[in-house]
């Protein structure tokens, strides 16, 4: 059984975080205070803490400028497409548009990147063949 991860990230506006993670992304809200909110992030515990913003860097991956740091989740193929369609229909601005990376190579994957309201970078990916998750 895969154990859920716990990740705490900085946000500068809890209301905007609630609208993004709760309303738009559909993550169930758990415990909260006026300084933080727990979310069920696709079976993992994500906590948004009020904190100042920090800088960002980018690295080239398969010809795309990938934001660093970033976090995300590997979804089932159909779930990834459903989320990409939902976010596109909602008018989300993507850092890297939904598409296929490493096409025809080991580790071929569907991926997209976007920012939450506090400028935390998120990546969502899926593999048609889940055994390719750690392919080299």
User: Do residues 130 and 78 make contact, with C-beta atoms less than 8 angstroms apart?
Assistant: no
Which domains are present in the chain?
A: 6-50 (3.30.720.120), 59-132 (3.10.180.10)
**Position 134 confidence tier, pLDDT thresholds 50, 70, 90:** confident
* CB environment 48-69: b (16+ within 10 A), e (fewer): bebeeeeeeeeeeeeebebbee
Pairing of strands 6-11, 44-50: parallel
Q: Are 95 and 61 in contact (CB under 8 A)?
A: no
Of 9, 70, 73, nearest to 36 by C-alpha is: 9
Work out the pLDDT band at 3, boundaries 50, 70, 90: confident
Tokens 């991926």 correspond to what residue?
111
Burial of residue 115, with CB atoms counted within 10 A of its CB: 0-12 exposed, 13-18 middle, 19 or more buried: middle
Compute CA 131 distance to the chain's CA centroid, rounded to the nearest angstrom. Answer: 21
Mean pLDDT, residues 41-67 taken together: 86
Query: Does 58 have pLDDT greater than 90?
Result: no
**Mean pLDDT across the chain:** 92
Identify which has the larger pLDDT, 21 or 64: 21
Positive or negative torsion for Cα 45, 70, 116, 56: positive
Quick: pLDDT tens for 60-85. Answer: 888 888 888 899 999 999 999 999 99
């Amino acid at each position: 059984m895969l154990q859920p991860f716990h990740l705490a990230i900085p946000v500068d506006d809890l209301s905007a975080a609630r609208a993004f993670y709760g309303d738009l992304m559909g993550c169930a809200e758990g415990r909260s205070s006026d300084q933080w909110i727990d979310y069920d992030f696709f079976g993992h515990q994500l906590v948004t803490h009020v904190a100042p913003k920090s800088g960002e860097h980018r690295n080239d991956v398969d010809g795309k400028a990938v934001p660093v740091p970033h976090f995300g989740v590997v979804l089932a193929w159909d779930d990834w497409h459903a989320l990409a369609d939902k976010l596109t229909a909602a008018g989300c601005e993507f850092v890297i548009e939904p598409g296929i990376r490493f096409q025809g190579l080991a580790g071929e994957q569907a991926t997209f990147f976007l920012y939450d309201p506090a400028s935390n970078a998120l990546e969502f990916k899926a593999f048609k063949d889940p055994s390719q998750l750690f392919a080299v």
